[in-house]
Structure 1
């Protein structure tokens, strides 16, 4: 049952992401990091498959008529009995410690075959009409594998506009005021003070709360940090050079007078980090003319930053358009910054990229 203010959608999204992070942490701590290669050669872990199954199951139970765009498909699991069995063991044994919350999500998936069918429900083509959820079960798979930053990402789009966004970041500190450094959360542990849920509803602001094993923790409002001197800003970018042009980012930072080294992090944890003021700018710059971003890599983070007082555009100062299908077909790159300084950042971006 959907709600006009999206409160129910947010609650289910938060619970679903929180439960999925329990599975991903189990995978990491048990060293069950079996990987497969997809056609695009990016690593896929058993955590990706398991987290996607759990999230789609919750969405199907609560919003059965909604479409879903998700990164993974079950073809590889259908062909690999060993990995399929491992994923199934994880899925059937991952539960919130809060019985009421678990019941809200629809409870356990009934069989391995049902799990495979659920994973394949994420095959929507997306588009500009209707209610469509976008899922990245583990964004930043390489960060996940090395015990660094990753995020479980979920967003609801209605008629192509993002209305709800949730990010589960198990390796970020709960403390919103902890400064952003490259080694922040590099040690994947279940220590107290580790793991945060970011969320937003369009027009209602953004929040963070500690990741827990049971009921949802109380939220705290988050906002981007005001920048009085842009040369003092901290900017973050992708770890992988194939995801963003680090040379262009360095040239832009120089043009803005920024002397601090960039903070390189995997995943949409970057969006969450700048939304709560731990960092200031996020640059993701095209590495080639043919590279096109996927909607699940940006939908939740885009909304959370905007609701925290930021502006998110592409490198040509166009808003990210999530109505074009499974990819951001009309956008190139991402530039996220506090609203007051975004024009200055875009000016530097266009100057550097335009001179090439």
Structure 2
């Protein structure tokens, strides 16, 4: 644990308190999700969009929102989940309640910063529902995805716990817990990275503050582990770039992605992994390019799926835009309604990638 991070003078620096709380809250929620995975029954239900939701989603959201409400009671929260399905399933609510009330960091100063146990199941449900803010261009909004990449979580692959502070439409702080990424920043991304990655020596917490760079540290049960700065890899020959994309064909047009890679001269197979672990992978030099190309004219990306990763990549020396080269616009509300798709790459090659994307999509 870095004791100086609890020094009041240190916390007065720009957004350092927000970063500290975000890191600790994401780490504590990540511990819960790992416990849920190792249970035999994960308590899966179905949302209206048919994607799976687990005890991990609800429990992680409750823990993180509790931490935000304690430390920043005036801030708004834009979160993915809400408790209506839980209120109709008492047994599942009880299971989640047992998980939430028993999650504590071994480091007491850290745990105390995040708030004590919630007093009741009803309080837990009410906390989950404090994530209904509509976002917008003014004020402070925390964008939260308690488990980004739920299908990756269920298959034992890549998923992430993601939290970002957006102030007046600009992302200021981002924290992402990736329990199944290797601790080694430069470990090669292999074809099986999307499945069966739950062994020992895994798990990183990556964060960034606007203008202050990005940091990685191993996940821990006892406060924050020592961190170190990260930077994107310097790519001199784009044909040697490492290409990342989503596992699910419904999230990104994989055919167009392949055509873009071919146009750039990239012959190695793309690396497919779920969640904002893709942003984290390219930010720390394990990959170079992340594409999420539109799969439908009317689809709008959700801000909680991109805010933290956007900032982390930028602070690591990268650039993130939509397919038209426009920065992602977090001022509109809960979605990126003015953007289409996502293109993330290091700054020296970003224009080349955008040109290839636009040629393939005939923009």
Is the TM-score greater than 0.5?
yes
RMSD: 1.2
Q: TM-score, normalised by structure 1?
A: 0.98
Residue 137, structure 1, aligned to residue 161, structure 2:
no
Q: Deviations over 1:48-74 (max 9, x none)?
A: 000000000000000000000000001
CA distance in 2, matches of 1:117, 1:284: 34
How many residue pairs get matched?
354
Picking from 44, 69, 73, the partner of 1:64 is 73
For 1:64 and 1:188, how far apart are their aligned partners in 2?
Answer: 37
- Other-structure match for 1:226: 234
Residue in structure 2 matched with residue 97 of structure 1 by the alignment = 106
Deviation at 1:345, TM superposition (A): 0.3
- State the secondary structure of the residue aligned to 2:215: strand
2:222 is aligned with 1:214: yes
Which runs of no fewer than 5 residues in structure 1 stay unpaired?
none
Deviation at 1:189, TM superposition (A): 3.1
Match of 2:321 in 1: 313
SS class of match (2:65): helix
Please report the TM-score for the alignment, with normalisation by the length of structure 2.
Answer: 0.96
- Counting only pairs closer than 5 Å after superposition, residues 3-14 of structure 1 correspond to structure 2 as 3=12, 5-14=14-23
Task: Provide the C-alpha distance between the structure 2 equivalents of 1:3 and 1:157, rounded to a whole number of angstroms.
Answer: 19
Displacement of 1:41 in angstroms is 1.0
Question: Is 1:53–2:27 an aligned residue pair?
Answer: no
Following the alignment from structure 1 to structure 2, what is the Cα–Cα distance between the partners of residues 344 and 205?
Answer: 24
Say whether residues 1:240 and 2:248 are aligned partners: yes
d(CA) in 1 for partners of 2:192, 2:118: 37
Name the residue aligned to 2:298: 290
Residues 268-301 of structure 1, C-alpha deviations (whole Å, 9 max, x = no match): 0000000000000000000010111000000000
Which deviates further from its counterpart, 102-111 or 152-161? 102-111
Partner of 2:93: 84
Partner of 1:35: 44
Pick from 157, 172, 175 the counterpart of residue 163 of structure 1. 172
Q: Which runs of 5+ in 2 are unaligned?
A: 1-7
Shift of 1:37: 1.1
In the TM superposition, structure 1's runs of 4+ consecutive aligned residues that sit over 6 Å from their partners are none
CA contact (8 A) 1:171 1:185 kept: no
In 1, the alpha carbon distance for the partners of 2:83 and 2:107 equals 29
CA distance in 1, matches of 2:226, 2:199: 19
Preserved CA contact (<8 Å) 2:193 2:272:
no
Separation in 2, partners of 1:345, 1:28: 37
- CA distance in 2 between partners of 1:272 and 1:189 (Å): 18
Distance 1:225 1:138, change over 3 A: same
TM-aligned CA deviation for residue 82 of structure 1: 1.3
